[in-house]
Amino acid sequence: MQTETIGRYEVEYSGVQLPNSEQWGAWVTVYGPSCNPMHRNPVMPAHRVAPDCSFASESAAEQEARKIAHTLVEARTRNV
């Protein structure tokens, strides 16, 4: 699982092997600002992104998850 800070948001993204398959899915969690450094505020709980897509490798799934995470955070900051 990779972690990245985008503006005020912390993003975790990963490739998760799909059940009974050699394929991988892309997963993202987005945490927003929190007044307590010991508590992360999930604004988008862990979920599979691009559910219609599967990937041949974990790294390919992570790359897609990262790209989608950036898009989600950019959309969220535009609307705030």
DSSP string of 44-80, one letter each residue: EEEEEESTT--BSSHHHHHHHHHHHHHHHHHHHHH--
- Give residue-wise pLDDT tens across range 18-68: 999 999 999 999 999 888 878 889 999 999 999 999 999 999 999 999 999
Number of compact structural domains in the chain: 1
Nearest to 4 by CA among 50, 58, 70, 52: 70
pLDDT of residue 80: 62
If one compares 23 and 77, the residue with the highest pLDDT of the two is 23
Phi, psi (rounded to 5 degrees) for 53? -115, 145
Reported confidence tier of residue 1, pLDDT bands at 50, 70, 90:
confident
- Domain of residue 69 covers 2-78
Instruction: Name which residue leads in pLDDT, 77 or 26.
Output: 26
Task: Give the pTM.
Answer: 0.87
